[in-house]
């Protein structure tokens, strides 16, 4: 990479909804882009000096197809000049943020921008699971009217357990409130500011949430502490006929254990937008008529995608103008 009078920024993937704003960064930075390729080629290019002088990377969620996960191996290949990664997504499990921090690379994500859309998706899945909506919806398209549907459940008076009261969890609680749920939540720590718990949900322990909730909705980040958090032992603790909703990350739930719980009627129904090994889905989930399935589309609206891209761009712009990211992830804040 030849020397440039401007800082160099590399876009991994494509900006689709904020193209003008991205192009405007060209006034203060040299913009590069990688739209195709594979991990081996990217590592080879890093090693051969193609990206020497790079200050920042803006990456899309789908760019993992081009580079693979930003793990320790890849981070070791990145140029020493790289100091910032602006990631498009609230979840950032595609990046080893701790390894980045150890290398002096700060990482940002897009909190806030995804809250409303993901919470809306969770409400859709919650209501669909309560009614086991997959059964009549499928039967209708097959010309069998309601098919073999039984009766579902109303939300009124049910105890809703929110696992993770961050931005998405609190947005979800606001949307659930008009359905007359009683609400409780669990975080690592109780939220302090009232705006983070807008429905005044009760703080309970993880075990109490599992044992007492009629519906459990998951809104946690994926990390070492949450991977496989919900397995056989946790399902055994739950009430018979519990409803599970997950719009966070698939690996938080042991899918084999979920399938068993569905087959044994421990779980009445589930609404899922994320999967343990996506895009592969456990065959037991595909077979089950108790599950409402969506293909990780919680943020798939024009408005939300633009908000996310704008925040990625704003993070890069702030790096170029002020020398730091606007929304650094916790690992970068603590480094």
pLDDT by residue (tens digit) across 72-122? 999 999 999 999 999 999 999 999 999 999 999 999 999 999 999 999 999
Flag whether pLDDT at 1 surpasses 90.
no
Global pTM value:
0.92
pLDDT score for 205: 98
How do residues 16-48 score in pLDDT, each as one tens digit?
Answer: 999 999 999 999 999 999 999 999 999 999 999
Flag whether pLDDT at 2 surpasses 60.
no
How far does the chain reach from its first CA to its final CA, in angstroms? 29
How do residues 258-274 score in pLDDT, each as one tens digit?
Answer: 999 999 999 999 999 99
User: Do residues 251 and 221 touch, judged by C-beta distance below 8 A?
Assistant: no
User: Do residues 301 and 84 touch, judged by C-beta distance below 8 A?
Assistant: no
How do residues 81-93 score in pLDDT, each as one tens digit?
Answer: 999 999 999 999 9
pLDDT score for 3: 52
Flag whether pLDDT at 203 surpasses 60.
yes
What band does 5 get if pLDDT is binned at 50, 70 and 90?
Answer: confident
User: Do residues 16 and 44 touch, judged by C-beta distance below 8 A?
Assistant: no
What band does 335 get if pLDDT is binned at 50, 70 and 90?
Answer: low
Burial-class residue 137 by CB neighbours within 10 Å (0-12, 13-18, 19+): middle
User: Do residues 206 and 186 touch, judged by C-beta distance below 8 A?
Assistant: yes
Q: Which amino acids are annotated catalytic?
A: 249, 278, 296
For range 53-62, the mean pLDDT: 97
């Amino acid at each position: 990479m030849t020397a440039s009078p401007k800082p160099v920024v590399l876009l991994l993937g494509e900006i689709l909804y904020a193209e003008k704003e991205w192009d405007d960064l060209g006034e203060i930075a040299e913009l590069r882009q990688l739209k195709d390729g594979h991990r081996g080629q990217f590592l080879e290019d890093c090693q051969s000096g193609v990206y020497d002088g790079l200050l920042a990377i803006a990456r899309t969620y789908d760019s993992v197809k081009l580079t693979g996960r930003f793990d320790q191996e890849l981070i070791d290949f990145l140029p020493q000049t790289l100091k910032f990664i602006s990631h498009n997504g609230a979840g950032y499990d595609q990046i080893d943020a701790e390894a980045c921090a150890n290398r002096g690379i700060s990482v940002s994500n897009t909190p806030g921008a995804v809250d409303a859309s993901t919470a809306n998706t969770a409400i859709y899945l919650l209501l669909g699971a309560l009614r086991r909506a997959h059964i009549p919806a499928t039967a209708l398209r097959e010309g069998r009217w309601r098919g073999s549907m039984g009766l579902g459940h109303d939300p009124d008076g049910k105890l809703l357990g929110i696992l993770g009261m961050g931005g998405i969890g609190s947005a979800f609680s606001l949307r659930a409130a008009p359905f007359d749920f009683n609400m409780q939540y669990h975080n690592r720590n109780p939220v302090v500011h009232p705006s983070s718990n807008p429905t005044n949900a009760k703080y309970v322990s993880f075990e109490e949430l599992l044992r007492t909730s009629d519906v459990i909705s998951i809104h946690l980040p994926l990390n070492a502490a949450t991977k496989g958090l919900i397995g056989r032992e946790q399902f055994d603790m739950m009430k018979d006929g519990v409803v599970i909703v997950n719009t966070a990350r698939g690996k938080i739930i042991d899918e084999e254990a979920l399938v068993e719980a569905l087959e044994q009627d421990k779980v009445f129904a589930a609404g899922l937008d994320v999967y343990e090994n996506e895009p592969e889905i456990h065959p037991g989930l595909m077979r089950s008529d108790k599950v409402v399935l969506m293909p990780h589309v919680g943020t798939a609206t024009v408005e939300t995608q633009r908000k996310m891209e704008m925040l990625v761009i704003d993070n890069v712009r702030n790096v170029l103008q002020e020398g730091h990211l606007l929304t650094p992830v916790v690992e970068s804040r603590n480094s």
